[in-house]
Every structure is written in C-alpha cells, then in structure tokens.
Structure 1
Amino acid sequence: MSTADVAIYRGRERLAAVDATDRGLAYGDGVFETLRVHAGAPVWWDAHVARLRHGAARLGIAAPDAAWLRNEVDALMAGQGGPGVLKLVLTRGTGGRGYRVPDEAAPTMVLSRHPLPPPAPGPLVVRWCQLRMALQPALAGLKHLNRLEQVLARAEWRDEAIHEGLLLDAAGRVACATAANVFARIDGRWLTPRVDACGVAGIARAWVLANVPDAAEATLQPADVEGADALFLCNAVRGILPVGRLGDHAWAPHPALAELQRQLGRAEPAFEGS
C-alpha cells in the first residue's frame, strides 16, 4: 500500500503515521468499517456511517462529522473509478500504558483503499471451525477492532479449496463465518443467527432482513444449518455468496437463492451478476 492509498487523522489533523501509543494498536480500542466501492462511490455509505457512529457511541468514542468524513473519503478515492474496497478505522486515540480510558483523547481515523478481492470461483466450500466464540453482550453486534477470534479461526486451515469457516459460540450455537454472516433456508424462510451475545451485525445481513419477506433472526444449531434447503454467506464487500458444500453436506443451486442475488443486484448495482 502506498502513501496515496491511506489517510490518517488525529481529529481533523492529517498525520504521517499512526502514533505508537494509539489505543487501537495497543488494545483494539476502536471500531472499523469495510465498504465496497463501485463507480467511485462507497456502497451502503449511510448504513456504514450509522454503524460506525453506533459502535463509537457504545464504546464512548467521539465519531467524526459525517460530512467531513465523506469529503475526506471522496478525496482519497478521487480518480479511482473502478471497483475497490474502502476501510475506515476509528480508534479512541493515543494514551499512556494501562487500560484506563484517558479523560481526554482525540480519536484517530485511518482511511485506506484496497483492491476488490477476486470473485468466488463458484458456490463456496466451507468448514466448521474448532474455535468457539466468546459470549460478550457488551460487545455483541459491534465491528470492533479486536478480531483475534476471527484470526485464530481463519488460521485453522490452509487448503485453498476451502473458502470459509463457520463458527459456533461458547454455547454451541451457530454464530457466523470468519468474515461474513450466514443465512440458512429453513421451512421456506431465510434465518440468520442472532447477534445479541456475539458476532457482528453485518450491513449485508441488515439488507436481507429489511428487504426479504419472512427473513428473521433465530437460534440455530449446527444440525439446522446442515439440514437447511440452502445456505449463503454475505458481507458488504462480496454481497451474497451461495454455499455449495459444508463438510459432507452439499447443496445444489436453489431458485430462491438465485432470485435473492438478482434482487440484491437490482438494489445495488455493485453486486449485479455476483
């Protein structure tokens, strides 16, 4: 990544680098957003900003002004008309050693642009991960910076033929994939795990819940997922990704899933044909 691909701020002051005492670096004290860029503009911008502000408020971090943030994002993306990925990282800012939150801290904001990942070669092949996600309602739903659970889960396999891993929580319930939410089609409905004890309230997940009749949150066991009529993963960068195999369980293309992908493509052209 070149210096042209990143912009770092303390408050609104432009910095050359992140401070070594930044609490995001030391403690994961912050939140982030990862957005798809299409035709030079970030997709689902308002939803991402709303989630960033919600997460910052939950952690007691001052969020940047939305208009200022969009101006800085547009400046970073200027001249980048093709598809890509934009990442926003907001930390509490700098602070001394120790967990105590500083009385006053100027938040750090890091904006960076990245290439779009290659398209999936076809229906995903996924596996169950051994790692179990901790139950922590105080952080549930947030896209906070501490992603060690996901890092360790993703480190469980190197086989390039496996595209993703599904995680259970500490109580044995289905939680999510390492980098996506999961939906299972059960009795004619799209169901996704709740995020009140762990997991991330994804932007693509929210779109499905808001736009698909009968889509809902539910408590799902591994057997529910393995016995589903269809399965897909979703996130804000890659949209809706059908799952073709989970261990010994395989799924043929499902018409309801194909229609859901078309519906998303009509609503958000960035995902058309995905």
Structure 2
Amino acid sequence: MSDEAVPFDDRGLAYGDGLFETVLVRDGLPLLWDEHMARLQEGCRRLGIAFPVRRCLDELPAQSGAGLQVLKLLLTRGSGGRGYLPPADAEPRLRWRSAPFVPQPARWADGVRVRLCDLTLGSQPSLAGIKHLNRLENVLARQEWSDPEIAEGLLCDCRGHVIEATSMNLFWFRGGRWETPKLKECGVAGTLRAGLFGVLELHEAMHKQDVLFEAESLWLGNSVQGVWPIASLVDSAGTLLRNWSVPSLDRSLQAEAHALLGYPVPA
C-alpha cells in the first residue's frame, strides 16, 4: 500500500489532473492487466503525463495479498504550475491501495433494477474513453437516487444517445447481435469492454433511448463486478418502463466476460 498524504499543490487534488485504474486481483494475479495498462498509457498520452515505469506497475498486484482484492491506482501529474498551466518539468505522483472485494452473485443470476438519469454527459472527444480523475458528472448522476433496490443509473449524452451507466458499461442484444455504445465523445471505455472485443463479436453503435426498448436484453458490466443482466428499467420518477425475463436470456456475453474475470456463470 502506498497512500501517503498528497500535498496541497497536487494537481490531481486541485484540478482532477490525473488518471486512475481499479483492478480486480485474484491471489496476487491481476485480471485484464494489459487492458488496464493500455488505458492508463493512453490516458497519459492524452493528458501529457509521463507513463510510470511499467516494471514498477507490474510489481504492484502481487502486493495485494491472498483472495479477491481490488487494487486502485491513482496517478496525478504531480505538483506545481501556475494556475491551470502545468509545469514543464512535472513529476507524476503515483499512489495505490488494495482492499478485499466480495462480488454479488445474486445480481449475476437474478439481474438488477436500473433507472434513467436526468443528468446528461457533455461532449469532449479529447477525454472520451480514458479514466481521468474529474468524475463530477458521475458523482452528480449517482446522487440522483438513494433507493437500494436500484443498482445503477443509465446516462445519455447531451444529444440523447445512450452512453453508459454511472460506473459500468452498457451492452444489449438486438437483431441477432451484441452491441455497445460508441464512446468517441464521452464515456469511459471499460477494460472488460475492451477484453470482450477480443472474444466476442461485439459492435459499437450510436442509438438514442429507443434502443433500450427494442433490445431483447440489456446488460451492465465492468472489470470488478462482472456482468449483470437488467431485469427492469424505470425512469427518473420511478415509473416502470420495461421488464425483461432474466431466466430466458442468452448469457453468452456474460459467459465470455466472466471467463476473463474468473467468475462463474449462473446456471
């Protein structure tokens, strides 16, 4: 664990000038590690932050300990600069911490209730896909509900295209194929999503909310929680919009995703 105090002038603290990764680690072995490192490296390229020495990063998961753990990496540009202008000689600051993790198998099997969020995501292609530290849109969206029966909230962009959930990627099965939103202007390109492109015929698409009602099934997934089927969708006022019969769903996407994470697939 390396979570020493961050100085007042750290740019990640002041401006969200940095990146993070949240990695599932099983008995010291990280899952989807190459995908996490690729996204972190792409984020560094976009923000102009020096990428840490890969060997040093590769040594961190083994320090997480036995069992199922979540390793969180925080990389900021470091300290200094005048206002928003970063210093030319910035020294990036890396922090990490591991914590035990217990997944929720009932959600894998029975599915979840999900709502539509009122908040819409702004368009910024320069930041789309990467996991930068400024996640205020997600924070505001997650504050929209407190009902424990609602597992997630779906977010659209400012033009009404369905993009993602507050902390998970969205997938659906429609017309005989698997689709996921295209993330060229906003949203986080999850590492589980990246891994699925390598093992499943998965198509990127831009659709408005109508696609949610046309889909034969909807799914949420990320590299820590695994994949949850959506059993019901409500609007922001709590009005039921649609139910799906979870026992009858094609679980091929979930099966491929859970194989990548070492999770079982419900019978």
TM over 0.5, yes or no? Answer: yes
The within-5 A match list for 1:213-232 is 213=201, 215-232=202-219
Query: Equivalent of 1:110, from 95, 98, 103?
Result: 95
SS in structure 2 at match of 1:265? helix
Unaligned runs of at least 5 residues, structure 2: 235-240
- 1:266 Cα deviation from its structure 2 partner: 3.4
- State the 1:212 CA deviation: 1.1
Q: Aligned letter for 1:175?
A: I
Q: Determine helix, strand or coil for the equivalent of 2:123.
A: coil
Q: Distance in 2 between matches of 1:267 and 1:23?
A: 35
Work out whether 1:204 is the aligned partner of 2:192: yes
Aligned residues: 257
* Structure 1 stretches lacking a partner, 5+ long: 1-5, 9-15
Superposed, 1:113-192 pairs within 5 Å as 113-119=98-104, 121=106, 122-192=110-180
The TM-score with structure 1 as length reference comes to 0.89
Question: What's the counterpart of residue 7 of structure 1?
Answer: 2
Instruction: Give the structure 2 partner of residue 13 of structure 1.
Output: none
In structure 2, C-alpha distance between the alignment counterparts of 1:51 and 1:218, rounded to whole Å: 21
Cα distance in 2, alignment partners of residues 256 and 249 from structure 1: 15
CA distance in 2, matches of 1:255, 1:159: 27
- Contact 1:173–1:219 at 8 Å: present in 2 too? yes
Which residue type is aligned with residue 195 of structure 1?
L
Q: Aligned equivalents of 1:182 and 1:239: distance in 2?
A: 12
- Structure 1 residue 221: deviation in Å? 1.1
**Contact residue 28 and residue 66 of structure 2 kept, 8 A:** yes
> Aligned partners of 2:186, 2:147: CA distance in 1, in Å?
27
Q: Matched residue of 1:163: which SS? A: strand
**Rounded Cα–Cα distance in structure 2 between residues aligned with 1:254 and 1:139:** 38
How far residue 20 of structure 1 moved from its aligned partner, in angstroms, is 1.5
**CA drift at 1:204:** 0.9
1:102 aligned counterpart, secondary structure: coil
Q: Does 1:236 align with 2:223?
A: yes
Q: Which residue of 1 aligns with 2:71?
A: 86
Question: 1:58 pairs with 32, 36, 46, which one?
Answer: 46
Q: Residues 183, 164 of structure 1: CA spacing in aligned structure 2 closer, same or farther, 3 A cutoff?
A: same
Q: Percent identical across equivalent pairs?
A: 43
CA distance in 1, matches of 2:94, 2:87: 17
Superposition map of 1:29-40 within 5 A? 29-40=17-28
RMSD of the alignment, in Å?
1.6
Shift of 1:118: 4.0
Alpha-carbon shift at residue 207 of structure 1 (Å) = 1.8
CA offset at residue 256 of structure 1? Answer: 5.7
Preserved CA contact (<8 Å) 2:32 2:260 = no
Q: Is the 8 A contact 1:93 1:105 kept in 2?
A: yes
Residue 3 (structure 1) aligns with: none
**Judging changes above 3 Å, is the alpha-carbon distance between structure 1 residues 120 and 157 closer, same or farther for their aligned structure 2 residues?**
farther
Q: Structure 1 204/140 Cα, relative in aligned 2: closer, same or farther at 3 Å?
A: same
Q: Distance in 1 between matches of 2:163 and 2:128?
A: 11
